[in-house]
Structure 1
Amino acid sequence: MKIIIADDHAIVRSGFSMILNFQQDMEVIATAADGLEAYSLVAKHQPDVLLLDLSMPPGESGLIATGKIKDDFPDTKILILTMHDDEEYLFHVLKNGASGYILKNAPETELITAIRTVYRGETYIHPKMATSLVREFVKSDQTINEESPFEVLSKRELEILPLIAKGYGNKEIAEKLFISVKTVEAHKAKIMEKLNLKSRPELVEYALKKKLLNF
C-alpha cells in the first residue's frame, strides 16, 4: 500500500517512514509538514493511506485538512495521529472523513495494525479514547445549528468565522481585517451565540460542514 505521512516534526516523519518501509506490504511515498502540503501530495500521488498529525502549527492542521482531502480524494483513507490532549477534536475529525486515530506514543505494532485496518476500509479507534468518542457522540446532535450561515451571520462575521476555524488568534484576525482586537472578540462571541456553539472544535466542525474555510 502507498502511504503519505504528514507531521510537523521531521524526526517523526523519518522515524515512522523507517518503521513502515520495513513492512513488506507498505511503502511511504512522500511526507508533508502540514495540511496544505499533505493535500498537494495526496493530489499528486493518490495514496492508499494518509497518516495525518492532528496538530501542525503554524501550518494547516489535520483538523482542517481532513475534510478537504476526503471531499476531493475519498479513496484515500486517513488515519489521524494525536496525543491525549486532543481528545475533544477527535469526534469532529471522524465525522469529517477520518477512518481512525492512533496515539503518537503507541507501539510500532499498533501503528502497523491501525494502518492495515483503515486500508481494509474499517475504522480503527484507540481503546483508551473510546469513552471520549461515545461522550461526544451522545451530545453531537445538539451542537450544530442547521440554518444557513448566510442567513444567520453578518458579512463581517462570515469573514471572521473561517479565520477562527483556521487557527488564527484574535490579534492576527484584527490585523488581517484592519479592526480592533475587541471588535474581533465581540464578533466571535456573537457568532458562538447565534450558532449555539460552545467550543472552538464545534466552530471548526461547523465551518467544515458549511464549506466556509475558503470563503
Structure 2
Amino acid sequence: MSLDLQDVAVGPKGGAPLFDAISLSVAPGEVATLMGPSGIGKSTLLDAIGGHLAHGFIVTGSVRLNGRCVLGLPAEARRIGVLFQDAMLFPHLSVGDNLAFGLARSVRGVARRLAVDAALEQAGLAGFAGRDPATLSGGQRARAALMRALLAQPEALLLDEPFSRLDAELRAEIRGFVFEHLRKCGIPGLLVTHDASDADAAGGMVVNL
C-alpha cells in the first residue's frame, strides 16, 4: 500500500492555491508529515485527499492510493481513514458499538463481537465494550478512535493533529501507539502537526507548506 501525491494543490474556485503544489510518496507503514503556519491549508489538503473538501474549493494534481486514482471517487470508496484532533467517538453509542461502527456490514454476529473485543484488547481496553465514551480518559479515547479507524481496514490514514490536545507524556505514549500500529499494519500515514517532535517521532518525510 502506498499513497502518492503528484503536483497537488488546493484553493478556492477562481482564486490562487493556498500553497505551492506538492509531490510526495508515502510507503506502507511510513508516516509523512505536513508542517506550516495556521491557515496555510494543511487540514484542507487532508480534506481533499480524504474526499471531504468543502464546497467552493478545488483540488488539482493527482492522488493515487496503491496505483488507483482516488480524486474522482466519493469519500466512502477511497478507503482512506481519518484521525482528528478530537477523538470524535459517538456519544450515544457504547465504546464497543463505536468500534463496531468501523466494521464492514458483512462482519456479523459472533465475528463482529470477537473483532471488537480483539481491537479493545490491542488498545489496552479489554472489558470496556459496554462503557460510555464519556467515562474514558483522553488517552483511552484516542486509542479507541484509532482502533475504530483500523477496523474499517483503510489503505491509508490521515492524521489531522490528533495528538495536540494531549499533555506531553500522554502525547508521546499515544503517538507511539498510533505509529506502531500503522507500521505493523503496513498502512501509509499522512500527519498534519505544528509540533516538530511529532515529525521526529514519525520518522518519515517532512513537507513544509
TM-score after normalising by structure 2: 0.28
The structure whose residues are more often strand, as a share, is 2
User: Which has the larger Rg?
Assistant: 1
Q: Which has the higher helix share?
A: 1
